[in-house]
Structure 1
Amino acid sequence: MMTMTSTRPAKLAWITGASSGIGRALALKLVREGYRVAASARGQEALQALAAEANGAIIPFPLDITDSNAVLSTVARIEAELGPIDMAVFSAGSYVRERPTQFKAAKLRQMVELNIIGTGNCLEGVIPSMVARGAGKIGILASVSGYTGLPGGGLYGGSKSMLITLAEAMHPELAEKGVTLSIINPGFVKTPLTDKNDFPMPFLITAEEAADHIYTGMEKGRFEIAFPWKMVVSLKLLRLLPYSLYFAITRKMLRNDR
């Protein structure tokens, strides 16, 4: 059983996508750092199992973030029962790979509704009370795949690119109101989603390592929290290349992916 390590009144974090992967690892990390955690995901059994590991410091709030009314009512319930949300990290999302020759608009809709609209519902839920208090931290889980378009990653990467752009646009005004907004761009992290991949995943790290990066970055108030650095640098350099060189490289990725 886990115990909290701080004697001060515990701050409150709300984590979505907390039933597995990065969200789960981050919830446990925050408990070790002295937070109480309101944990949301669609899987109730997985949330209950997570709560059982944390000796009462993690409180389950089952939620489908694509339901805007449910998100708003869940935020209201969390704050009524536990107090103001000091930190919110939106890690709920999904991932699919696609082939242009087999393009399905339904897959695009899935990415938009969960990764973009679902995150937007959560932002709508927490921003007003944080702005009213002049305090709070928000983390949006995007991806290094949002930097540039890579074979097989157009739908997922496109949804994450939208989140990066949204965060860049929102950051200055929220900062003036005392709210710190961070965009979180991981590379490959070992999770149930990446376990489905059948291609090489360079610089793969564990969910626990990812949680350490996120916690450190949010505590320091960084806008971009990106890791591992080799993956970050590689893709940021790739997006700066002229298209003639860019496509020469991505065509090689396509051959390796078949």
Structure 2
Amino acid sequence: MKSFKGAHIWILGASSGIGLALARELSDAGAILALSSRRRPELNDINEALGGQHLVVPCDVSIPASLKEASDKIAQSFARLDSAIYMAGYYNPTRFEDIEVEELRKTIDINLTGAFVFSHHVLAILQKQSAGQIALCASVAGFRGLPNGQPYSATKAAMINLAESLRAENKIPAIDIKVINPGFVRTPMTDKNPFKMPMIIEPEDAAKAIAVGLQTKAFEIHFPKKFTYFLKLLRILPSWVYFQIMKKQ
């Protein structure tokens, strides 16, 4: 994507956090957006604040039929779909032994099953066009298993794997698949963390990093670089070294 001006972009998870900041960033750059989250009133307010020119498409990612309905509406409303970005996410920091089944299901439904269903419907649209982009927002939490990070870390690791599979299977050069792996970003989700978050950035800075990354050929968009490269080092350490480090946390 050489320019956002006039580009048709679907942001799922546009009502708060990084998704909202990204909607503002891309709207300011001239993109035509489809704004999705569960609550229409919030989306209407956001659309009005952005000038009222965007498409409001309420959608509950935990309900496959809702995702299908949303993708059908976007396919009918937009002459083309240049990019579809999955920013929906759910996080509730929990010790493994304290995980409740309902919380587990909710996390998997939103972070993983929703991403699968979203990708399935978007890919069908892009294949008809023979062009377009899918970007899935995972997390550096998916690089390795973290203490008190489940089931969130497991779903984010699976999202990274999903994006890799989509990229590996894709045979159409003009279809671009990307994964987004943010570090700590100040949002209502990270406000739940009881610990000091190193190198935390604001949603607006995250949105700018994503916007830049969407226009490159790189598969992975990750930020802030000093933090993410450190975590990438942890990712390649032998397991026995990694677990020794984690014991000290």
Q: TM-score range by the shorter chain?
A: over 0.9
The one-letter amino acid paired with 1:109 is: R
| 2:141 paired residue number | 145
Contact 1:15 1:27 (8 Å CA) reproduced: yes
Where does residue 90 of structure 2 map in the other structure?
94
Shift in alpha-carbon separation, 1:177–1:131, aligned structure 2, 3 A: farther
- State which of 9, 15, 18 in structure 2 corresponds to 1:13: 9
Is 1:198–2:194 an aligned residue pair? yes
Of residues 150-159 and 238-247 in structure 1, the stretch that sits farther from structure 2 once superposed is: 238-247
Q: What do residues 209-228 of structure 1 show as CA deviations (whole Å, max 9, x unaligned)?
A: 11111111111132000111
Q: Give CA deviations for 1:1-48 in whole Å, capped at 9, x if unaligned.
A: xxxxx996x121000110000111111111111101000001222211
Q: After the TM superposition, list the runs of 4 or more consecutive aligned residues in structure 1 that deviate by more than 6 angstroms.
A: none
- CA shift digits 1:166-217 (9 cap, x unpaired): 1111103325352100000000001111112111100100111111111111
Aligned position for 2:185? 189
Quickly say closer, same or farther: Cα 1:72–1:63, change in 2 above 3 A: same
Aligned: 1:55 with 2:83: no
Distance 1:222 1:177 in 2: 14
Equivalent position to 1:168, from 164, 167, 185: 164
RMSD of aligned residue pairs (Cα, Å): 1.7
Kept in 2, the 8 Å contact 1:217–1:225? The answer is yes
Q: Does 2:134 match 1:134?
A: no
Query: How high is the sequence identity, in percent, across the aligned residues?
Result: 36
TM-score (norm 1): 0.91
TM-score (norm 2): 0.94
User: Structure 1: which amino acid aligns with 2:183?
Assistant: G
Whole-angstrom distance in 1 between the partners of 2:77 and 2:17: 26
Gaps of 5+ in 2: none
**Structure 1 counterpart of 2:215, which letter?**
E
Does the aligned pair in 1 maintain the 2:4–2:31 contact within 8 Å?
no
